[in-house]
Structure 1
Amino acid sequence: MEEIVISVAERTLVAGTPLLLGTVGEIICERSGILNLGVEGVMAVGAVSAFIVTHHTGNPWLGLCVAIAAGMLISLVHAFTSVSLQSNQVVSGLALTMLGLGIAGLLGKPYVGKPLAVKINALPVPLLADIPLVGPVLFNQSPFFYLAIALAIGMWFILEYTLIGIRIRSAGENPQATETQGVNIALIRYWSVIVGGGFSAMAGAHLSISYSKSWIEGMTAGRGWIVIALTIFALWNPLRAIIGAFLFGGIFVLQYLLQPLGISPNFLAMLPYIATLLVLLVGSLRDRRRLNAPAMLAEPYRRGER
């Protein structure tokens, strides 16, 4: 029984890791006032970039770095259209998703069915990994897990207690007043979108060079859309995102636990998305101010406007 509990808990954390990375990135982006619905596409670009580089070099860490760079680069498209062109952010984000999925499918087609010779494996923490029950679950995970937790805590601290964090939040709450303090709103929003794209690309890289060691088209499997819902669930707070991400990770694992009971596989595959719809439904029923949503989220801002 103990082995089953440990196995389920481990798989839950593994499944929740890319969701946490993507959610923290989306929180950064939305806190600055930019809605990014292109997470799914950026994750796909990160996954295929990491896989291709790792496949040819045998170095998954280099693959991760290239994936982050690729995610940040393609996120520039959304930043440019949303900030510089003042375009509709919903349309721009959806276009980014389609662009990213298209690029990933095109670049990854020759690599379907070609497994990696090496991937980023679990990294046991000395001494801590030997603690009964807790050790194997928390301290025998992929480096991506430790990185995701550290980044979530770090971004929470930055957003709440540093000058750059205050500027990011101010850009999403009251850009007019922030601009009078000499802050370049466009620059803040550009960098927030770009950094958020890097986080989403890391999430994609986790899927192709750590969670598995193969590439298949559509391997992001809608996780980018779940990230959007988790951002609302977390109330735009990276610490709450930790809870939400691993809760949804548990829902992914639940699919496999219920399969032996004879429940329809199609229904089980729907579970994460049913949960996503429920989160969005509950969020829509609550007052936006109580949700802590950035006041100017998805609202274009032109410099000098009053």
Structure 2
Amino acid sequence: MPEAPVAAPKAELRSWKAPIALGIFAVLFGLLVFFAPRAGETNFRLTSGAEAIQLADVSVPVFLTTLICFLLLALLAAASAYFVRAAARTPLWIVIVFVVVAVVGFLTWAAAGATIPVTGLLAGSLALAVPLIYGALGGVIGERAGVVNIAIEGQLLAGAFTAAVVSSLTQQPILGLFAAAFAGVLVAAVLAAFAIKYLVDQVIVGVVLNVLVIGLTGFLFSQVLQPNAALLNTPVRLDRVAIPLLSDIPILGPVLFRQTIIVYIMYFAVALVYIGMFHTRWGLRLRAVGEHPQAADTVGINVNSTRFWNVLLAGAVAGLGGTVFTIGNGIAFNKEMTAGAGFIALAAVIFGQWDPIKATLAALLFGFASNLQNTLSVIGSPVPSEFMLMVPYLVTIFVVAGVVGKSRAPAADGKPYIKG
């Protein structure tokens, strides 16, 4: 009896987006080096003067450094192509090293003859990245459960508004944190009810919620907060807490360990979400209802209930991120003050391939790109300010459309589950 033919193994699809994108940016950087060369030296100030250990400034020749960076970028782009050809994917470390080299090279070119305060640049980048990280964590939780959370922008804005009002009324910023999380839960509850129970398209519900929250907070700001600003819109700023010893570490100490409680909660949130998602029963159930809800249902998991409660959790996390805009910086609430941060956080979710650690790294990259314009403006860089304003959005397009490569969302993401 002849043997049945053995099916040939399915070849893994290769995505050449990453090497092509890296190659294009290497060429663009090369054009900058050779057709707009700059002379002199760039000085990198590594310590701010408040650290226990002081490091000497580092000065580098502009043309030689940018030339070396260009060659490294070309090699990394070639390495990306090699790995895609051999293993069908670009390792994450190549992308990270490429970004670091590109940033060092661009800073060296843009700040020729000036001094870059490295600690200030990194601290400002982290400050801008914190709400993006909270939003990205909320997005990862929601989408891992199978619900597309377009409403991150609305959750951030609701958290910022509620934190400002509650902190102003009570003079207790900690109460503002709880109120912001509750506001995020309310917005998420509407999303969950319409998307899970009434099977409305999740993207449409998210967009409508964003518009609703923007309109509602804008109306309340104009009609209630502005006439009563002293009572309702003078949020108390959270104090910065320096962690002994750790805060004295050069460069990273002032950046990571002289922060407000919002930032410290963020550190724990990233770790807890990662550990919980991949090493606990909660995470297994969460990923099951997002990948294969029918299989999860057959083993006794209530799919819609699991999705509902996890969407609420995602809303609470995103709502906490909104506090950065008000009590985190001691700034009064203003209309649309989140300025699209929720959509950047959503891009970080995609760039991070629905992984909390990778999404956090992506949010840090976006925060750095946003803060770069401030630093270069202060040191008097010749780079046009209009171009620098575009940088965060160019980076978003770059990483989502190019660097991500082959990226797959949870299989049931955005698909309502109907039992039976």
Q: What's the TM-score once normalised by structure 2's chain length?
A: 0.68
1:13 aligns with 2:133: no
3-state secondary structure, aligned to 2:418: coil
- Contact 1:49-1:63 at 8 Å conserved across structures: yes
- Contact 2:138-2:152 at 8 Å conserved across structures: no
1:270 aligns with 2:390: yes
Please name the residue that 1:119 is paired with: 237
Per-residue deviation, residues 133-154 of structure 1 (Å, max 9, x unmatched): 3321221112111111210111
C-alpha distance in 2 between matches for 1:133 and 1:270:
28
| Larger relative contact order, structure 1 or 2 (CA cutoff 8 Å, min sep 6) | 1
C-alpha distance in 2 between matches for 1:211 and 1:234:
27
Structure 1 residue 65: Cα displacement = 0.5
- Contact 1:14-1:211 at 8 Å conserved across structures: no
Per-residue deviation, residues 237-281 of structure 1 (Å, max 9, x unmatched): 111122111111111110112323254433322221222222332
Please name the residue that 2:142 is paired with: 29
Structure 1 residue 292: Cα displacement = 4.1
Structure 1 residue 30: Cα displacement = 0.2
Written as runs of structure 1 = structure 2, the 5 A alignment for 1:244-263 is 244-259=362-377, 260-263=380-383
Written as runs of structure 1 = structure 2, the 5 A alignment for 1:155-170 is 155-170=273-288
Please name the residue that 2:312 is paired with: 194
Please name the residue that 1:89 is paired with: 202
C-alpha distance in 2 between matches for 1:220 and 1:131:
32
Q: Which amino acid aligns with 2:337?
A: M
Per-residue deviation, residues 41-97 of structure 1 (Å, max 9, x unmatched): 111111000001111110111011011111101211110111001111111110111
Please name the residue that 1:147 is paired with: 265
3-state secondary structure, aligned to 1:20: helix
Q: Which amino acid aligns with 1:44?
A: L
C-alpha distance in 2 between matches for 1:261 and 1:111:
39
C-alpha distance in 1 between matches for 2:188 and 2:220:
18
Per-residue deviation, residues 75-131 of structure 1 (Å, max 9, x unmatched): 111101110011111111101111111122122334357663621122111222122
3-state secondary structure, aligned to 1:210: coil
Structure index of larger Rg: 2
Q: Which moved more, 1:2-11 or 1:177-186?
A: 2-11
1:281 aligns with 2:401: yes
- Contact 1:52-1:108 at 8 Å conserved across structures: no
C-alpha distance in 2 between matches for 1:117 and 1:67:
13
Which ranges of 4 or more aligned residues in structure 1 deviate by more than 6 Å?
Answer: none
- Contact 1:21-1:203 at 8 Å conserved across structures: yes
Distance 1:254 1:187, change over 3 A: same
Distance 1:256 1:168, change over 3 A: same
Please name the residue that 1:298 is paired with: 414
Distance 1:277 1:201, change over 3 A: same
Among 202, 214, 221, the residue aligned to 2:339: 221
C-alpha distance in 2 between matches for 1:292 and 1:160:
17
- Contact 2:165-2:235 at 8 Å conserved across structures: no
Q: Which amino acid aligns with 1:302?
A: I
User: What stretches of structure 1 of length at least 5 have no aligned partner?
Assistant: none
Structure 1 residue 212: Cα displacement = 3.9
Q: Which moved more, 1:10-19 or 1:170-179?
A: 10-19
Distance 1:218 1:266, change over 3 A: farther
Structure 1 residue 18: Cα displacement = 0.9
Identity over aligned residues, as a percent? Answer: 33
C-alpha distance in 2 between matches for 1:286 and 1:251:
21
Written as runs of structure 1 = structure 2, the 5 A alignment for 1:42-81 is 42-81=155-194
Q: Which amino acid aligns with 1:188?
A: T
Please name the residue that 1:133 is paired with: 251
Structure 1 residue 31: Cα displacement = 0.1
C-alpha distance in 2 between matches for 1:5 and 1:262:
19
Please name the residue that 1:233 is paired with: 351
Please name the residue that 1:182 is paired with: 300
Please name the residue that 2:81 is paired with: none
3-state secondary structure, aligned to 2:199: coil
C-alpha distance in 1 between matches for 2:241 and 2:221:
28
Distance 1:15 1:168, change over 3 A: same
Please name the residue that 2:96 is paired with: none
C-alpha distance in 2 between matches for 1:206 and 1:296:
32
Aligned-residue Cα RMSD (Å) equals 1.7
